Amino acid sequence: MKKEAIYHKAKSNYAYAYDKETLHLRLRTAKDDIKSVHLYCADPYEWTCVNEGINEWAWNRQAYPVQKEFSTSLYDYWMVEFKPPHKRFKYGFILNDGEQELLFCERGYFEVHDPGIINDSNSYFSFPYMNEEDIFNAPAWVKDTMWYQIFPERFANGNPDLNPENVLPWGSCDPTQETFFGGDLQGIINQLDHLQALGINGLYLTPIFESPTTHKYDTINYYEIDPHFGDKQTFKTLVTQAHERGMKIMLDAVFNHMGDTSPQWQDVIKHGENSRYKDWFFINSFPVVDEGGQAILGSYETFGFATNMPKLNTNNKEVKAYLLDIATYWITEFDIDAWRLDVANEIGHAFWRDFRKAVKAAKPDTYIVGETWHDSTPWLLGDQFDSVMNYPLTKAIIEFVATDTTDEVVFVETLVDALYRYPQNVNEVMFNLLDSHDTVRLLSLANGNKNKVTLCYTMLYSLPGSPCIFYGSEVGIDGEYDPLCRKCMVWDEALQDLDYFNHIQKLIELRKTHDVIGNGGFIEFISFHDKTVAYRKYNDNESIYFYFNNNDSAKSFTLHPQLQSTQVIDLYTANIFEAPSSLKLEPFSFAILKCAK
């Protein structure tokens, strides 16, 4: 038995309350090492007297089978759902490798009937009590939300009267970081029909508050809509009309830093050490600008090395009160549904705990998404964020399909790692994406290969989480890194590639029709080899099978036994056929299959 590969930790992503009644328990073992696993558990207070004469008692342990959920090149992953009758229990795992059987518990490894451990309940793993306030609780609506990210300056110009003086004709050239084309809030309102037809029911807007730049991540005034985007009444109209269509609205909160033209920072420049706002920022020395008005690098902390974005001191009581008031203001006054938090991992955890309390008090089902690019467990314990931008999932899909820089083995390992990194109830609300305003666009990553792009989207919409596409993806917009990933949306139908629109629309329709495709079930990998992957999405009521060929040549798959020699429907094409034992897929193609009966 390869003990060095075995892993479990109580009260973690390997042992957590999924809901008020159900615990999820996970276990990792070396690949193909363990033949069977049983959960060995009991209520800590349930004992039976086995000998009254000597007052001998036995702990009422019982064994339950644990199912293997995933296998990668290195590990097997096991999972069991368990409902403790009294919301508490202690437990271990009985591991059998075909040659020996051991009890694995918090103290280590023992013979299953070792008299020194069998009734020593304090040596087992413990879940003391399923306190409701400790259960991860994100808004239920997020599980069914199909997001669409909008960079407002480049989406649609609905009110030319608001154009900046230096505005250029819409889409007349590739953008620079300083190029204005006049996108605004009215433009978004005007295109809600387009988004609704696609199947979108969640809009994520990058910053819309007053700022001198195209991207608005250097905020001047968090209480005002940028005048080139519109006004508060226009924004209220957008929220109202979106809500009438069943669409949620998420705004971008830039609380790590603010713009250097903000009144607060200008006061620091003017008054130096005597500024009432000096403690709002992290200032290392005065003055912060030279005689020519140029920032003195190193005299204050910034976002990255961008001197136009001085970093806010969120430990300061005034700053905290100011930002928390902003967070609740846009909820209470305009009824927004969610906040995306920019550079969230560079702000202290204490601030985010207070942020969550304030936001949830204002509107309990507000969705909170943090921008982090790495493991985000410290922020996803139920006291800070509901979700983060799921870049590990992004990398898994992009590197296997779009850029062809990893193989199917690494893809599965990366995906399983992403799924086991967090509890299932966290995965169900993760903000899943393939590209954004911070990345190269998917079509460019795929080097213009249309079929690869469709494979990526098919994977995105078939996995747990809350999927998002970047504006223009549905009409075939490409683009390298910023600023080229922020091109103007193409509204001329003659220049749109509507194959992307139809594909994404179909995937959204399938996901909404079949709950198991999204968050309504589990995933099982059927096979992965030679740049092909097949997996099953299943629950008690339905099984749907996904087959992907990521090759430039046709490949054959052995169909899952449940599909063989029966009528099968391809849910994507609606074709019904008598399935043979194998399935041939053309280069860079996929199939979504289900038993027709």
Q: Which of 153, 184, 252, 371 is catalytic?
A: 371
Tokens of 240: 């109202």
Contacts of 582 (CB under 8 A, 6+ apart): 556, 557, 558, 559
Tokens of 181: 């084309």
CA atoms of 443 and 271, how far apart (whole Å): 50
CA atoms of 406 and 394, how far apart (whole Å): 13
Half-sphere CA count of 459, side-chain side, radius 13 A: 31
Contacts of 365 (CB under 8 A, 6+ apart): 139, 140, 141, 337
Neighbours of 53 (CB within 10 A): 5
Q: Give CA angle at 350 (347, 356), nearest 5°.
A: 90
**DSSP-derived 3-state class of residue 495:** helix
Concatenating the DSSP letter of every residue in 278-311 gives: GGGB-B-SS-SB-TTS-B-TTSB-EETTEEEEEB
Q: Which of 153, 226, 252, 342 is catalytic?
A: 342
CA atoms of 514 and 517, how far apart (whole Å): 6
Bridge partner list, 17? 23
User: Catalytic residue at 333?
Assistant: no
User: Catalytic residue at 342?
Assistant: yes
Q: Using an 8 Å Cβ cutoff, are 453 and 443 in contact? A: yes
Cα 153 off chain centre by: 25
CA atoms of 565 and 547, how far apart (whole Å): 18
262: amino acid identity, one letter? S
- Active-site residues, by number, are 342, 371
